[in-house]
C-alpha cells in the first residue's frame, strides 16, 4: 500500500514555510506592538465547550466537529476554533482577577470535517487576537485596525472592512420575531438548511451563501434599524473610531457571522477584485459579551478576530508579486567549515557551536568525509572562506583558512578563529 495524506489534510513543506513564517511573524509583530501576549490551549477539549459556546445549531457543531468518547466515557472534541477555549481558559485560571483587559493572541491547528477545497482543509492553522474584560468600543476598533494591518503588511492591496451590529439579548429577540415573520412568507424560496434555520436561528439565514437565499435576504429587514439604545450607542462609537482611523469600511446590514456567541459588533476583512467586487473573507470577528456566562463564568465583555493561515498562504503563493510576501531570508553563510577525520569532526562541532553563540552564520557538511566534496559544496553555496580542520589541525589546535576567491591559505590558532572571522565578516559589510 502506498501511504499518503488523508483527504482534507496536508503537509507543510519547506518551501511553504516561506509564507507560513511570513504570516506568523507579521501576526506576532502586530500583536506585540499592541501589547498582546501569546496563549496556547490543548487541541482536545470537552465537546460541550463548543456545543455550548459556539452554538449547537451552528455548522461547526452540527456538521464539522470531530468528536469521540475517551476510554473514561468523556465526550471530547478536536478544537474546531479558538474563541470558546480562550474564554474557558480565562475563566479556569481566574484571569478576571488580573488588570483588565486581558489581551491574547494565538496561532495553532484546528480541525473541521468540511468539504475539502482550495484553501480549506480538515486540519488547518488559525491565528487570532482576543481582548477580554472590557466593553469599550475602542477595543472593537483596535481589533479591526490590527486585522487590517496584518493584511496590509502581508501585501494585500484591495482590502476593505465590512461591519455591522447584531445587537444583544435586549434587542435581538424582537428583531428575530420580525425576521421570522419576513422569512415565513418566503419559506418555499429558501434552501433546506435555511428552512430548518428559520425554526432554530433565523439570523443564520442572513449568513447563507446559497444564491436562492441571497435573493430572498436582499429584501429582509435590517437589524441596525432595531438596535436598543445601548447597542446603537456602542456601534456609533465603533464607527466614529473607524472614521478617525481612516479605515476603508462599509456597512453590511446582513453581516451576522456564523457563530451564536457574537453580540453587537461583527466584521470581516474582505479582499476585493480590481473592479471592487468582494472575492472572499480573509479575517472575521466581533464582540462576544455573553460567552463567559454561557460557559459558567461571570459577565465578561470580550471581542476578537480570527484568520485561516492556509487560505491566506494559498493566496500569497498564487500572486505574481511573490517578492512582496517572501520572508527575509536568513543571513547567508560566507564561511564554510570543512573537517576530515573523527577527531576533527568532534572538535569541529564544538567550534560550530562557538560560531552559533557568536551569531556568525557558518555552513557545514559533517556528514561528508571527502575534502573535495566539501569544497564543492562550499563553492556551490558561494562561500567566501573555508575553514579546513583536519587531523593535524585537530592535534595542534589550529585551523587552515582558505580564501575561495584567491585560493590563498593561512593558519589561525583555534582559540582566535571566531574573533578573526567576526572581523572579516564586519569588514565585508563595511
**Binding-site residue ranges:** 81-83, 112, 126, 130, 257, 261-262
Compute the C-alpha angle 126/137/303, nearest 5°: 25
Residues in the chain, total: 430
- Whether residue 282 contacts residue 310, with contact meaning beta carbons closer than 8 Å, is answered with no
Residue 394 backbone zone (phi > 0: left; psi -120 to 50: alpha; other: beta): alpha
Please answer whether residues 328 and 355 qualify as being in contact, where contact means their C-beta atoms are separated by less than 8 angstroms. no
Helices (H), 54-171: 59, 83-92, 137-153
Closest CA to 272 of 215, 224, 315, 324: 315
CB count within 10 Å of CB 320 equals 6
419 vs 430: CA distance, rounded Å = 17
Binding-site entries for L-histidine: 81-83, 112, 126, 130, 257, 261-262
How many beta carbons lie within 10 A of that of residue 17, not counting itself? 13
Angle at 123 between CA 119 and CA 127, to 5 degrees: 75
The C-alpha atoms of residue 22 and residue 339 are separated, in whole angstroms, by 35
Amino acid at each position: 500500500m502506498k501511504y499518503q495524506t488523508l483527504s482534507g489534510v496536508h503537509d507543510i513543506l519547506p518551501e511553504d514555510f516561506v509564507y507560513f513564517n511570513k504570516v506568523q511573524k507579521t501576526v506576532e509583530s502586530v500583536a506585540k506592538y499592541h501589547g498582546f501576549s501569546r496563549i496556547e490551549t490543548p487541541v482536545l477539549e470537552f465537546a460541550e465547550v463548543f456545543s455550548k459556546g459556539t452554538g449547537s445549531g451552528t455548522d461547526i457543531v452540527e456538521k464539522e466537529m470531530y468528536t469521540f468518547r475517551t476510554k473514561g466515557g468523556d465526550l471530547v472534541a478536536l478544537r474546531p476554533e479558538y474563541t470558546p477555549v480562550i474564554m474557558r481558559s480565562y475563566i479556569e485560571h481566574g484571569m478576571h482577577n488580573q488588570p483588565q483587559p486581558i489581551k491574547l493572541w494565538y496561532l495553532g491547528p484546528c480541525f473541521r470535517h468540511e468539504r475539502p477545497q482550495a484553501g480549506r482543509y480538515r486540519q488547518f492553522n488559525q491565528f487570532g487576537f482576543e481582548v477580554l474584560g472590557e466593553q469599550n468600543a475602542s477595543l472593537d476598533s483596535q481589533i479591526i485596525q490590527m486585522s487590517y494591518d496584518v493584511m496590509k503588511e502581508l501585501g494585500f492591496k484591495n482590502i476593505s472592512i465590512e461591519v455591522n451590529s447584531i445587537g444583544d439579548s435586549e434587542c435581538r429577540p424582537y428583531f428575530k420575531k420580525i425576521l421570522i415573520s419576513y422569512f415565513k412568507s418566503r419559506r418555499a424560496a429558501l434552501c433546506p438548511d435555511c428552512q430548518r434555520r428559520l425554526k432554530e436561528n433565523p439570523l443564520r439565514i442572513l449568513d447563507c451563501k446559497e444564491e436562492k437565499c441571497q435573493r430572498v435576504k436582499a429584501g429582509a429587514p435590517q437589524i441596525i434599524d432595531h438596535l436598543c439604545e445601548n447597542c446603537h450607542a456602542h456601534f456609533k462609537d465603533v464607527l466614529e473610531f473607524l472614521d478617525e482611523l481612516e479605515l476603508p469600511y462599509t456597512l453590511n446590514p446582513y453581516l451576522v457571522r456564523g457563530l451564536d456567541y457574537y453580540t453587537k459588533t461583527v466584521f470581516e476583512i474582505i479582499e476585493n477584485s480590481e473592479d471592487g467586487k468582494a472575492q472572499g473573507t480573509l479575517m472575521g470577528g466581533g464582540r462576544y459579551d455573553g460567552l463567559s456566562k454561557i460557559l459558567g463564568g461571570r459577565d465578561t465583555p470580550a471581542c476578537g478576530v480570527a484568520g485561516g493561515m492556509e487560505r491566506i498562504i494559498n493566496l500569497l503563493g498564487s500572486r505574481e508579486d511573490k517578492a512582496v510576501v517572501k520572508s527575509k531570508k536568513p543571513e547567508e553563510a560566507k564561511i564554510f567549515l570543512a573537517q576530515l577525520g573523527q577527531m576533527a569532526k568532534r572538535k569541529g562541532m564544538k567550534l560550530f557551536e562557538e560560531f552559533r553563540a557568536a551569531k556568525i552564520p557558518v555552513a557545514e557538511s559533517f556528514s561528508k568525509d571527502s575534502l573535495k566534496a566539501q569544497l564543492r559544496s562550499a563553492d556551490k553555496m558561494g562561500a567566501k572562506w573555508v575553514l579546513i580542520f583536519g587531523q593535524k589541525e585537530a592535534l595542534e589546535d589550529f585551523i587552515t583558512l582558505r580564501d575561495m576567491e584567491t585560493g590563498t591559505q593561512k593558519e589561525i590558532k583555534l582559540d582566535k578563529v571566531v574573533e578573526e572571522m567576526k572581523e572579516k565578516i564586519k569588514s565585508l559589510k563595511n
